[in-house]
Amino acid sequence: MISTVCWVPRDRLRAVPQSAGITPEQMAQAVAREQGRNNKDQEGPSEMEQEPRSNGNGGDVKSRGGGGQRGFIDDLDLDNYDKEDEGVHMVLGATNLTVFRDNTDDPYITVDDPDIESDEEDAVIRPTDFVLLAGHTEQEYSAAEVHVFDKAQSSIYVHHDIVLPSFPLALEYLSDGDVKSSERKNLVAVGTFEPGIEIWDLDVVGGIEPVATLGGRNAPPPPSSSSFGSKKKRGGGGLKDSIFGKIKKGSHRMGVMSLSWNRHNRAHLASGSADRTLKCWDLSKQKCLSTYTHHKNKVQCVQWNPKEAFFLLSGGYDQRCACLDVRDQKSTKYFQVDGEVQDVSWNPSNPAIFVASTDKGSLIFYDVRKTSSSSGKGKRANASKPLCTIGAHDGEASSVAFSCRYPHLVASASTDQTVKLWDLSSKPVCLDRKDLNIGQIFSMSLNEEDPDILGAGGDQGKVAVWDIMTSKAVAAKYGGARGGGGGGKK
């Protein structure tokens, strides 16, 4: 399935990513880490696995037991990786094998392979290409995939991927330098069922380690005879710490369900977790700056305000949204909704307005200037009324987004397998609906640079891209159809 998607700004990634160049030491560390996870599989479920798992955008994901990662390592037979096998050498003649760096240097290859040129072209990310990141899980394999979309050709393909240690719940693009700087790094923050937030380099292919991890666990202590005493005699926390490693100071304690990068203060990353907390991180110091505890259940979504650098919007399973000024938590304002919040979106054209989507299929619009600051538990705690409520979908409304180009256009996606486009210039009107043929839709995003392009992912493990201007109703309402449209699916 595709559990989460996000766009990367155009002409940011390297045209040709670098190879990781993995050292033996790095490989040994990765193997040790995997063996630690195997011990985790043997000992039983973690804190996060003891509850029904959320897929990050609606619905629960059942625990993936069975030690699949352990089986993967066993298949590689890494314990015998560097041992010579005389039988294999005898059959293949590896000791006498001559290897050429390029096929053009090989005197026995005299006919050019046209597929090679095609592959080389696909390996180059052009300035006009759109890049969509997707969190993909299939059986026991999880990865952050880099999809390249060519709008002119209406085609999309996976350029490369980053193998992840756990089910991805949230992806967020980051940049640690000036946009025009050659030293700029293009990064992705990844939230998974683990308590740590991993940060990976998008310009590196074949990496096995993140460039940084925010929070998470320390390495477990080495095994000893005293480490495997009776579970009944040992405290639960002590046993977990001895197997998995202690939670780092300032870390989330459960899976990270949502992420948002502050474009005004690029050192700040916000995260929401199944442990019911929000955190603000300093990326430059890889340190938690603040922890907020105003939600009473899992924090499913979080988003910085597009204009006000200190305002942070969040939504949780406690059936409410909260607008927080990170400088003063006491000023938090609350907004009641009709179910578990699945997604939130600020209106870029009017940053006091936001919309929340819920597991009841609703879209609920609020003005943050018209609300109560009460944190009461009852449904009447919030005295204000929503600006508008739409019964948008028959299933969970997993994603919602305001258009950056058209102030009154909103897109929503659902587990009912549809994307819908709404016009709010007067009374809410559904301009169009589309089945993207990717199954239940768990995540959807409008591109900020070209808001006519919508990307989504679903339970069939595919992503789809839709040029919404190919919709006659949308084109008629917002300026006429444009040539070269279309959509791609992978």
pLDDT in tens, the chain (490 residues): 999 999 999 999 999 888 876 655 665 666 566 555 555 555 444 444 444 444 444 444 433 334 444 444 444 444 444 444 433 323 333 333 344 445 556 665 666 665 545 556 668 999 999 999 999 999 889 999 999 999 999 999 999 999 999 999 999 999 875 444 456 789 999 999 999 999 999 999 988 899 999 999 998 877 765 555 444 444 445 677 777 789 999 999 999 999 999 999 999 999 999 999 999 999 999 999 999 999 999 999 999 999 999 999 999 999 999 999 999 988 899 999 999 999 999 999 999 999 999 999 999 999 999 876 555 554 444 457 999 999 999 999 999 999 999 999 999 999 999 999 999 999 999 999 999 999 999 999 999 999 999 999 999 999 999 999 999 999 999 975 344 344 455 5
The pLDDT score that the predictor gives to residue 108 is 57
Dihedral in degrees, nearest 10, Cα atoms 208, 209, 214, 218: 110
| Cα 167 to Cα 190: distance, rounded to the nearest angstrom | 10
The pLDDT score that the predictor gives to residue 64 is 34
| Segments of 305-408 assigned E as strands | 311-316, 320-325, 328-336, 341-346, 353-358, 362-367, 388-391, 399-402
CATH topology of domain 2-83+115-489: Methylamine Dehydrogenase; Chain H (2.130.10)
* Contacts with 85 (C-beta within 8 Å, 6 or more apart), sequence order: none
> Which amino acid, one-letter code, is at 154?
S
Whether this model's pTM surpasses 0.75: yes
| Cα 172 to Cα 266: distance, rounded to the nearest angstrom | 12
In sequence order, what DSSP letters do the residues of 389-431 get, joined into one string?
EEE--SS---EEEE-SS-TTEEEEE-TTSEEEEEE-SSS-EEE
| Cα 146 to Cα 360: distance, rounded to the nearest angstrom | 32
The pLDDT score that the predictor gives to residue 243 is 77
The pLDDT score that the predictor gives to residue 329 is 85
Gap between the terminal Cα atoms of the chain: 12
* φ/ψ (deg, to 5) at 193: -70, -10
The pLDDT score that the predictor gives to residue 223 is 72
> Which amino acid, one-letter code, is at 60?
D
| Cα 122 to Cα 143: distance, rounded to the nearest angstrom | 20
